[in-house]
Chain A
Amino acid sequence: MKRQIPALGSLLVVAAVLCLLPFILSDYDVSLAAQVGIFFIAVLGLNILTGYTGQISIGHGAFMMIGGYTTAVMSRDHGTNLVVTMLMAFAICFVVGLLVGLPALRLSGVYLALVTFALAVSLPYIPLQYSTFLGGSGGVQSAQTVSNLWVYTAAWACSAVLFVLAWLILRGRTGRAFRAVRDSEIAAVASGVELPVYKTLAFGISAAYAGVAGSLFVLAANGFAQPSEFDIFLSLQILIGAAVAGLGSLWGILIGAAFVGLLPQVSTSIPLIGAQHGRDVVFGAAVILIMLLLPDGFAGLLARLRRPTRARA
């Protein structure tokens, strides 16, 4: 993703496998594969912000919530075409992301992380306050609902489009500016990078991605949006997905998304510890292990594995 299109071959393989999966998997497994697609989009978005621009967000669940509610409410009130609601989710979250990006101009590192954390913690209380419009704790049910296959197709089609979009953004001027900001803000400013523009832009793009993921997340839950679906754990899931993924590798993001998308489902089958404990223990352990062993995530690992073979050839 950094310099050229990541080996066209692997892209084709991934695309082919994704096209064929629905024929092989059971309907339920298709819904799991759709979850992976949804987290792929969210992790990809966070990768742009954290990986390329060096700004940490532990509140991306909030943007997913905004996207999800956009879809649910528009469908409930106007029966809007679901694809249109996804585009709206993208647009609304882009704007909200730009606004949330403003504190990023003054804060950095852990302080910025705390702002995003506060956002993710407080946002689920908004529907409780405006319960006629946002359904309160009872939630919002969309007018249209879709099949697992629909969500799967939509999730991976969006993944493809947004992946290419990310590649286009990151390979050119904007991507260079993002990386310059990450590596040294002072040097970036000295080279003529307009810091406020690029920092907020990164937030906007990243939030927009999360918004689309949130829209799909709600559709995967049969079109039902409820505040408690978007608790702080969702934000952590995305963050963990990004940590597992590492920077700028298609395979890394796939692995990261699969990890956080599948684990909650798989862990329900662990008999003794149960879903919640199983999930928390496995996530916690995985994060510690990955930070120790693979500080650059799977992307770093893949790069390390690739290097010796190239040297030999």
Chain B
Amino acid sequence: MAMNRRKLAILIVGLLATAAVAGTAGASRTSTPGVTSKQITIGGTFPFTGPASLYKTIPAAELAFYKYVNAKYHGVHGRKINDIALDDGYNPAQTVPDVKKLVEQDHVFAIVGSLGTAPGLSTWGYLNQHKVPQVLLATGDAYWGNCVHHACQGGTKPWTMGWQPDYPGEAKLYAKYILKHKNNAKIGVLYQNDAFGKNYLAGLKTGLGAHKGDIVDAESYSVTDPGPVIQAHVGKIAASGANVFVIFATPTAAITALATEGHIPGWNPLTINSNVSANRLFMGLAAQNGANVNGVLSTTYVASQSAQPNLPGMKLAKKIIHKYAPNGVGTLDGQFATGDNNLVYGLAVGWTFWDALKHAGKNPTRAGLMHALRHMNEKNNPFIYPGMVVKTSNKRTFPMEQLIFEKWAGGGAGDWKTFGKVLNSGH
């Protein structure tokens, strides 16, 4: 025991000494986290794996865009953009430690482009409390814009901001379309049973107004549900006699739903697939699995590399994706060629961040970045749909408020065709 005590004493002395050294080492700190004279470090969380992993090309495109900007323009004001993209598998339980690691260990300047409603909600309290920008989120929930000035979940969220058109606004447009084009509509809805799906459903109901009762069946599924569960829900919707089928689902479930619909004999509803799953690649996959994709309706807000290949922005996109793909030159070419529109989405978000960072000044601060993001007027983002604009002000808290309808034609190898005017989806 005497021996043990001596060891213990040595251990304690040793630990104290280390503590003292660590204490002094921690004393020197720069003013803005993540910003050095040569580099700006940002971070984000994305589903590289798990039920929403079809979205993993979004961070890939963002990384490619920052590589391009770093190579061609030396980043922003001489600082290169370093983006740390972590995998959270679309699971908030993993998002929390990921974001804590990014903020507390990697000392990122901002969380940029993180994907998913539930993951975003699980960390916005934390990020707003620590005044860390949580911006250009890859989710269209109304929260991201509505809670800037109004308290949500214990306070306002001025450090949080989305990017894409919000889900309720999009759903309202579908409601308008249904009311105009479908007499005696009987609407069946498949939605994800979380904030994401419910945001959409609420928007659809608001848009239908007095015709809310036209929704004959609303089936919800959980993001981790296997295919047969989705199939059962679609079967129920078909049995309810619906002649309009609205899908508010993440890609894997949406593909399954479309394919299931194709296999139900005699059921040919007007099908609406929300734009989060309207990627051309996903439509192709659905067609391969038996979906009748012709005539499916959706909306878009980014340009299409397959339908508009001659736009300067799409030519640039092709070049960037080819040359700066994170896993090496050319590794994403095939993905780009099949029409994975999320690559264009990622580039567009990267472009907005780059633009905001330029406006945040030579010595960017977190508050300065937020100010720049809240005062954008981006007419020249080459990757968004021609004629649309990314615009914010203290009052306008949703950066994108425009959409255009699109309809699928040409079967499995076909494509979206936009029609009508650019519409306002805002509040």
Contacts and interface: CB of A to CB of B under 8 A. Distances in A.
A139 to B, nearest CB: 6
Given A12-B8, A13-B8, A275-B98, A222 B91 contact: no
A222 B121 contact: no
A125 B96 CA distance: 20
Contacts of A35: 97
Interface string B115-138: 000100111011001000000000
B50 A276 contact: yes
Contacts of B240: none
Interface stretch (B81-89, B247-255, B276-284, B305-313): B81-89
Interface string B191-203: 0011100100000
Given A28-B104, A221-B122, A222-B129, A228 B91 contact: yes
A28 B49 contact: no
A275 B88 contact: yes
A222 to B, nearest CB: 4
B239 interface: no
Interface stretch (B11-19, B64-72, B165-173, B371-379): B11-19
A300 interface: no
B16 A9 contact: no
B30 interface: no
A128 B222 CA distance: 11
Nearest to A29: B105
Contacts of B105: 26, 28-29
A6 B278 CA distance: 61
Contact of B19 (A9, A23, A142, A229): A23
Nearest to B48: A274
B122 A128 contact: no
A274 B49 contact: yes
A231 interface: yes
Contacts of B87: 268, 274-276
B100 A228 contact: no
B267 to A, nearest CB: 29
B387 interface: no
B125 A226 contact: no
Contacts of A139: 92, 118, 121-122, 153
Nearest to B22: A24
Contacts of B93: 228-231, 233-234
Contact of B194 (A23, A137, A274): A137
A257 B236 CA distance: 45
Contact of B94 (A125, A142, A264): A264
B154 interface: yes
A265 B101 contact: yes
B384 to A, nearest CB: 29
Nearest to A76: B154
Contact of A27 (B98, B104, B118): B104
Given A31-B100, A139-B121, A231-B91, A145 B129 contact: yes
A16 interface: yes
A125 B223 CA distance: 12
B26 interface: yes
B4 interface: yes
B1 interface: yes
Nearest to A141: B153
B266 interface: no
B23 interface: yes
A145 B419 CA distance: 49
A141 B147 CA distance: 14
Interface in A194-223: 221-223
Contacts of A293: none
Interface string A138-166: 11011101001000000000000000000
A35 B101 CA distance: 13
A263 B312 CA distance: 46
Contact of A26 (B94, B98, B104, B154): B104
A222 B96 contact: yes
A265 B23 CA distance: 24
A230 B96 CA distance: 13
B195 A138 contact: yes
Interface string A225-250: 01011110110000000000000000
Given A221-B96, A274-B49, A275-B94, A20 B89 contact: no
A27 B103 CA distance: 11
B122 A229 contact: yes
Contacts of A128: 193
A274 to B, nearest CB: 4
Contacts of A26: 26, 104-105
A17 B100 contact: no
B118 A137 contact: yes
A75 B93 CA distance: 20
Nearest to B25: A26
Contacts of A137: 118, 193-195, 198
A16 B49 contact: no
A207 B420 CA distance: 59
Interface of A: 9, 12-13, 16-17, 20, 23-29, 31, 35, 76, 125, 128, 136-139, 141-143, 145, 148, 221-224, 226, 228-231, 233-234, 264-265, 268, 274-277
27 contacts: A16-B8, A16-B11, A17-B15, A24-B18, A31-B104, A35-B97, A139-B92, A139-B121, A141-B153, A143-B154, A145-B125, A221-B96, A224-B126, A226-B92, A226-B121, A228-B118, A230-B93, A231-B91, A231-B93, A234-B93, A265-B101, A268-B94, A268-B97, A268-B98, A268-B101, A275-B94, A276-B94
Given A228-B93, A268-B86, 5 more contacts: A9-B8, A16-B11, A35-B97, A231-B224, A268-B94
Interface of B: 1, 4-5, 8, 11-12, 15-16, 18-19, 22-23, 26, 48-50, 86-89, 91-94, 96-98, 100-101, 104-105, 118, 121-123, 125-126, 129, 153-154, 193-195, 198, 222, 224
